[in-house]
Structure 1
Amino acid sequence: MTGESCRPVFVLGCPRSGTTLLQQMLHSHRRIAFPSETRFVHTAYEARHRFGDLERPENRRALAEWITSGEGTKFKVLRLDAAAVVEEIVQGPPTLGSAIAAVFRAYARRHGKPRWGDKRPSYFRRVPMLRRMFPDAQFIHLVRDGRDAVSSLMRMPWFHGDIHTAALTWREAVDTGMRLRARLGPATFYEFRYEDLVADPEDALTRLCEFLGEEYDPGMRTAHRHARQTVPSTRKWHLRTHEEVNARRVGAWRDRLEGWEADFVQYVLASRLRRHGYALTEGARPPAGQLVRFHRLAVYRWRSRHARAVLARLAEAREPNPVVSCLDGPVSVS
């Protein structure tokens, strides 16, 4: 059945994998409101204990005011009436998920759409958090050739890692995607490739809409018109969203990576690249020192993830309220 789902939608993936392009396409669907990155979902979750018992209206107000005006959130990109949103949260159910859902539902209502979503590449690390708040959510994982993703990530002014960090981030994203696909199943988790999206947008988006329970909307093909209004020209790394969909950057790693970089990235990602259908080229084995450094970083990050998981379970045990959203059903639109 199409056209009736109201499940939240979350887009995730390794940074520089085309998630902003996909976000613009989804927002261009007549039934789905999909804002630019808001950055308050995971930060509100991490800060939830400071607001105390949300059964108390004054605590819900403090949470609402933090979401709408707190340092580091990007609530302003939604162009909503902050005071009205605060009151909606205060009058709503006393859970964190309900407060967050109220914001996105207000955004969807502003655009006259019954369904909402959110995009952030790093959500691949936070699916358990999102499922605690939105157990009926659907997840879309966009995968790009790891060599292209790494070479693009290395060029970003906001990326402060090295090639080892970039390659490991891609590996972690696709490995997490594989586990989520098996755990969540085809009705909840959908994975596809950036290269297929730009090669044949209509086919890729039609399949995606089938997963979402929606009819394909041809307006998704002209998402660049919306991007020209919402993606600032100062964000030069996203200016390609202002263009009609094209495949000009597929394989750009051949020009962007030095020879040793290409050899290193392909070597450490080889099995994952093959798994996702990417052809490998001939290359030399990286020096032992480079591989040792990469594997040490992988072990360090694995230990850090598990330490954070332990802390997360402890934090869950002392929550004063449930976090699950009690706001369900389609957004009321006039």
Structure 2
Amino acid sequence: MSHQPRQDFEQQASLALESPVFVIGPLRSGSTLLRLLLDHHPNMHMFGEFEGAVSQARGDRWPDLEDYWRFVKIDRQTSAMNLAIDPELDYPALVKDFLRQLYLRNPQPVVGASIHSRVDLLPRLWPNARYIHLYRDPRDVARSCIGMGWVGNVYEGAKIWCDFEKRRELLRTQEQPGQAIEVFYEQLVENPVKELSRLCEFLSLKFDPEMLKLDRDTTYSCPSKQYAEQWKSKSSAREIRWIELLTSEQMMKQGYQPFSRDTRALTIQEKLALKVQNRVYRMRYNIRKWGLVLWLQHVLARRTGIRQWVEYVKHRTNAIDRSLLK
């Protein structure tokens, strides 16, 4: 009898680690909200963003191990996880060991995270992973990227959505029946109980009302439909045109209908103006966030490639970025 609890734990761990759950969606698609909702289920541990599992790949090749070890120590998201690096492991084994370490901090039948980058590589690491595909209107995604300082205009923000959707399509060609489920942000915030119940059923769990009590221990609140389709009131006709020139074909596949009737391609002058405005905006945003001196160090360190300087600046900018996170 004394061995039974241990056997049960090992069996649960094996099942959880062989088939982790990943919330798959572009940046600013509501993935943090959805992940937190799932994490509040008593039988789920959705520990955060796990970009570091795949983001450093170059093409179809895994990163050099020593370069990756340095990345783990200085990347804002990954370093915050305080992961132990076993130098004896190759890349796939090391990333799987990271998941094991994170699982052991809160062992639950379901473990997972959100990922926005090289999602097409996940089947190579976890062939039996389960995927929750989160979709959101690109007109809202593109606008939301500006507020994060990643882009200076919705045209560049739409590129972030497009780049991710290309990776998503590659992942979808590798999925097996029953391995994935879809959820739309707009439906999630309008009827969270219904959508979360569907997701729980997919994960062989029952919906728990605790999932909606985000305001108890996070800065997020219960989903509200007021956050859906904000582009209709906050985007100009010109901005909608810019976004739809890049996204209309793919967004229609997802059920979103274009609004702009102006389908003229951008002129060279328009593209140049958007590119310059984007660079100036990002520069000013980071100067306001980090201060002029640290921003200059950031630029010079990256250009010179001096490793110790790069790592020093990265640690300082990480500290500021963490303090500003919601």
TM-score range normalised by the length of the shorter chain: 0.5 to 0.7
Q: Could you tell me which of 178, 182, 187 is aligned with 1:187?
A: 178
Change (3 A) 1:204 1:148: same
Q: Could you tell me which of 165, 186, 198 is aligned with 1:207?
A: 198
Is contact 2:123-2:174 (8 Å) kept? no
Question: Mind listing any 5+ residue stretches in structure 1 that lack a counterpart?
Answer: 53-61, 229-241, 298-334
Change (3 A) 1:291 1:28: farther
Q: Which residue does 1:269 correspond to in 2?
A: 247
Change (3 A) 1:199 1:188: same
Is contact 1:147-1:262 (8 Å) kept? yes
Map 1:173-252 onto structure 2 (within 5 A).
Answer: 173-228=164-219, 242-252=220-230
The one-letter amino acid paired with 1:97 is P
Q: Which residue does 2:136 correspond to in 1?
A: 144
Q: Which residue does 2:39 correspond to in 1?
A: 27
Q: Which residue does 2:5 correspond to in 1?
A: none
Change (3 A) 1:38 1:174: closer
SS at match of 2:226: coil
Map 1:24-103 onto structure 2 (within 5 A).
Answer: 24-42=36-54, 48-51=63-66, 63=69, 70-75=73-78, 77-78=80-81, 85-86=84-85, 89=86, 94-103=89-98
Q: Which residue does 1:126 correspond to in 2?
A: 119
Change (3 A) 1:102 1:121: same
Query: Alpha-carbon deviation of 1:39?
Result: 4.5
Q: Could you tell me which of 102, 106, 115 is aligned with 1:111?
A: 106
Is contact 1:180-1:189 (8 Å) kept? no
Tell me the distance in 1 between the aligned counterparts of 2:187 and 2:74: 38
The one-letter amino acid paired with 1:275 is K
Change (3 A) 1:282 1:260: closer
Change (3 A) 1:279 1:126: closer
Is contact 2:65-2:91 (8 Å) kept? no
Tell me the distance in 1 between the aligned counterparts of 2:269 and 2:242: 8
Is contact 1:32-1:108 (8 Å) kept? no
Is contact 2:35-2:46 (8 Å) kept? yes
Tell me the distance in 1 between the aligned counterparts of 2:206 and 2:263: 47
Tell me the distance in 2 between the aligned counterparts of 1:181 and 1:13: 12
The alignment status of 1:18 with 2:18, answered yes or no, reads no
Q: Could you list the runs of 4 or more consecutive aligned residues of structure 1 that deviate by over 4 angstroms after TM superposition?
A: 43-48, 290-294
Residues 277-317 of structure 1 deviation map (CA, whole Å, 9 limit, x = unaligned)? 234435433454179959xx9xxxxxxxxxxxxxxxxxxxx
Tell me the distance in 2 between the aligned counterparts of 1:152 and 1:286: 24
Change (3 A) 1:50 1:183: closer
Query: Alpha-carbon deviation of 1:260?
Result: 0.7
Paired residues in the alignment total: 255
The one-letter amino acid paired with 1:32 is M
Task: Tell me which of the two structures has the higher relative contact order, counting C-alpha pairs closer than 8 angstroms and 6 or more residues apart.
Answer: 1
Q: Which residue does 1:308 correspond to in 2?
A: none
Tell me the distance in 2 between the aligned counterparts of 1:165 and 1:114: 40
Q: With structure 2 as the length reference, what TM-score do the two structures score?
A: 0.66
Question: Mind listing any 5+ residue stretches in structure 2 that lack a counterpart?
Answer: 1-11, 276-326
Query: Alpha-carbon deviation of 1:267?
Result: 4.4
Q: Could you tell me which of 137, 157, 171 is aligned with 2:162?
A: 171
SS at match of 2:38: helix
Tell me the distance in 1 between the aligned counterparts of 2:71 and 2:155: 35
Query: Alpha-carbon deviation of 1:151?
Result: 1.2
Query: Alpha-carbon deviation of 1:48?
Result: 4.5
Query: Alpha-carbon deviation of 1:147?
Result: 0.9
SS at match of 2:240: helix
Q: Which residue does 1:314 correspond to in 2?
A: none
Is contact 1:38-1:77 (8 Å) kept? no
- RMSD of aligned Cα (Å): 3.3
